[in-house]
Amino acid sequence: MNVRHDLRSGAVLIILVLLMIAVYHRLLLGEVFIWGLPPLQFYPWRAFALDTLATGNLPLWNPYNGAGAPLFANYQSALLYPPSWFSFALPLAQTMSITAVLHLFLGGWGMWTLTRLLGYSALGRGVSTLAFAMTSYLVARLGTFPMISAAVWLPWLLWAALSIVRFARARDVGRLAFFSALLLLAGHAQTAWYALLLTGLFALWSWLRIRPLNWLIPAMLLSGVLLGAGIAALQLMATGELLLLSQRASGVDFDFAMNFSYVPLRTLNLISPNIFGNPGDASILGTGAFFEDAVYIGLIPLVGAIAAVLQWLRTRRSSERPAFMSDVSFWMVIVVIAFAFALGRNTPLFPFLYNNIPTFDLFQAPVRWHLWTVTGLCLLAGAGVSTWANTRKDRAWAGRLTVVCIAGLLIGALGQSFFAGESGEPVRVMLRGVLFTSIIGTVAGLLALRMPTPGTPGYGRWGLAVLVLLAVDLGWAAQGLNVTTRAAIDAQAGDASAPRAYWSPDVQDRVQFEEYFLFDDYRVAVERWAEARQSQLPNLNLLDGRPLLNNFDPLRPGYAVQYAALIEDNPAEAPALLNAAHVDAIFDDDGVAQPLAAVSERAWLVETACWHNRDFEVSAALLGAGWDRQLQVQLSGEGTCAQGDAARSLGVVTSIEYHPNEVELRVSAEQDAWLVVADTYYPGWRAEVNGAPTTIQRANLAFRALQLEAGDHSVRMVYEPGWVVPGAVISGLSLFALLILFRIQDARRNTT
């Protein structure tokens, strides 16, 4: 193709960079993303990890939340994900925000690379690239850093898998392994699963069309993914252990799984992104979460996707159609399937899958299947645009669409004045969406009417104009979806042994999402950031080193979740349960910490233990009349049940000190006793008494206990999880294998 008459290869990526700068320029001025999960999860996790690393220790454990919780094993902390490492040396929150935006470029670059292999025209590739990089599916979710970090590797995975199918080269296996590792380290299991599943289906589709079948290809594909999993083994083993012990070990309940099901009416967002308003200016209509429902890819790409389907129908029996049109049927099916899945509870399909097909009960938000929808539509769009030609039929369709858009423009403009007053605001919001979409459509239609014949002088400039118009469209759709402020995110030193505070889940949810981080008005997060910063919401408490019994992590030890449920479900016994968890204050309905009358110790001595085989028996004992944490400890396992004596003096815990991944206690026991520590029981915690190893038992459902003889003792508990060494070995060997794979290929190239 003559470059002089077509788009130059770098023009699209330059347009994408300029578009991202225009939309996110405030990040370059020192501002950071502030709505929702960045301050409630990602900034505090990373800040605490950096502080731990500064002491020369690995950030394995978080002692401040949920009576202690795994940090590294928390998949979304993504501490091994290479782009995360920039924040270890540069300003934390700003670097994390800018890195998130850079991932949009990586996604667009991946789509540009994939569509080249598919054989799209330069303009078709450009449309696919911009549409995917700036789709509202990614932009509206940009604050969910791990989800974006995972999603943008999907085009690269498709490219690597297709390269294996077509060329069966060793280096392509290495590329698939490399991108699989990045995907698995990015920190979002749901997105990673959807991306790998779609990659597998596309690879299978592409392989089955080869004649004769090359049976080496499936082995190469599987080897690439397994090698990628091997590179990520250290992270996967840590998270796998947590998952098996978590509240999601046996799947999620039905209502949680169906949370954020796509409402069919929201399909209009494919045509006009703000037809139901925008939370960035508080014009949003209806309920739900805009960031979950967003699917806009741009008006021109949507028309291009429809054109691809129509062209496929017209030419499906033709031997002269472009080779890439053979994949249109696959992407059509993917879009339909994903759209049906995304509807969730709104059709019988997803409930059936939830009840009968493995993995459908592992995640919430069926709407996230729209990752497949937008990927399929973006690829269909590029295919459709690649077939555009200056024919009479094309000009006729362009004329009709232009007339429709002009009509929409007039209706949108006139309706703004016709529906005056507060009661007409919802209609005006919808008409504003129609108005801008009609403007884009009108300009696009006029451009289509003036389309030069591909390959002739002027076609390159015309194609550039199309891409600029698409950039304007996508830039407008992105407005307000990622609010920023010049916020202080720096962490302060704290005392992990201090008493904990406690948020009731109802109060926590209300304060989080009705006071500070509103779903229908993102501006409030900016206006009230100073208050939110001091609120001690989990995980904001990490920034001040203030312990909480609460934990706002996606995965939590299941017995810790059960203990919290006991507190909420049994108001009469809640004071005793809070006391046994070393809680000294409860946040009231206004988000103010109210001190409790009695404050327990973090660690204490108990004379007797009562053993139970099942957790429900432990729970019943904790709720039993007369249970006193100082007289009897409830242990999980085989054994007898003895009663305590309130008259006996057992001794004291004279000191308790917290260090990264370690707790040191000094205890003076007047007789044999159990030492109970109100910290989360978890595999990997090991104990020594006066230097001799001893066994930690799970106590009072969620905490730790160990047996002491009479006398003075130095007790040391250290978190040394068993997966560290084997995980590191597997990851190291897998990385070495990847380097060898690429090196072998380099040697081959040098000899040819």
In Å, what is the CA distance from 679 to each residue of 79, 92, 601, 663? 24, 29, 11, 10
Taking the C-alpha atoms of residue 571 and residue 576, their distance in angstroms, rounded to an integer, is 10
pLDDT tens, position by position, 320-361: 788 899 999 999 999 999 999 999 999 999 999 999 999 999
pLDDT in tens, 642-663: 876 666 778 999 999 999 999 9
395: tokens are 């000009």
Contact 668, 679 (CB under 8 A): no
pLDDT at 749: 46
Report how far residue 359's alpha carbon sits from residue 395's, in angstroms, rounded to the nearest whole number. Answer: 47
**Residue 677: which H helix or E strand, with range?**
strand 673-677
Kindly give the parts of the chain with pLDDT less than 70. Answer: 1-9, 420-423, 644-647, 745-752
pLDDT of residue 317: 78
Q: How far apart are CA 703 and CA 430, in angstroms?
A: 54
What is the CB neighbour count within 10 angstroms for residue 33?
29
Q: Could you write out the DSSP letters of every residue in 593-651?
A: EEE-S----SEEEESEEEEESSHHHHHHHHHSTT--TTTEEEEESS--B----TT---E
- Pairing mode of beta strands 61-62, 69-70: antiparallel
User: Which pLDDT score is estimated for 422?
Assistant: 65
How far, in Å, CA of 169 to CA of 174, rounded? 9
Q: What is the DSSP string of 528-560?
A: THHHHHTS--TTTHHHHT--BS----SS-BHHH
Helix, strand, or coil (residue 32) = strand
Buried b (16+ CB within 10 A) or exposed e, 177-213: bbbbbbbbbbbbbbbbebbbebbbbbbbbbbeeeeee
Strand ordering across the sheet containing 651-659: 651-659, 662-669, 711-719, 685-689, 692-694
Spatial distance between the Cα atoms of 474 and 273, rounded to a whole number of angstroms: 9
- 8-state DSSP, 265: G
Strand order across the beta sheet in which 632-636 lies: 603-606, 673-677, 703-708, 697-699, 632-636, 608-612
Q: What would the two tokens of residue 439 be? A: 């403007």
Q: What is the DSSP letter of 72?
A: T
* Eight-class DSSP state of 252: -
**CA of 171: how far to CAs of 86, 201, 523, 737, 751, in Å?**
28, 21, 48, 12, 15
- Which domains, and CATH codes, for the chain? 3-22+103-245+264-390+451-478 (no CATH), 31-72+492-594 (no CATH), 603-721 (2.60.420)
Expressed in angstroms, the distance from the first to the final Cα of the chain is 28
| DSSP letters spanning 449-502 | HTPPPTTSTTHHHHHHHHHHHHHHHHHHHHTTSS-EE----------TTSPEEE
Q: How far apart are CA 394 and CA 307, in angstroms?
A: 10
> What is the model's pTM?
0.94
SS3 144: coil
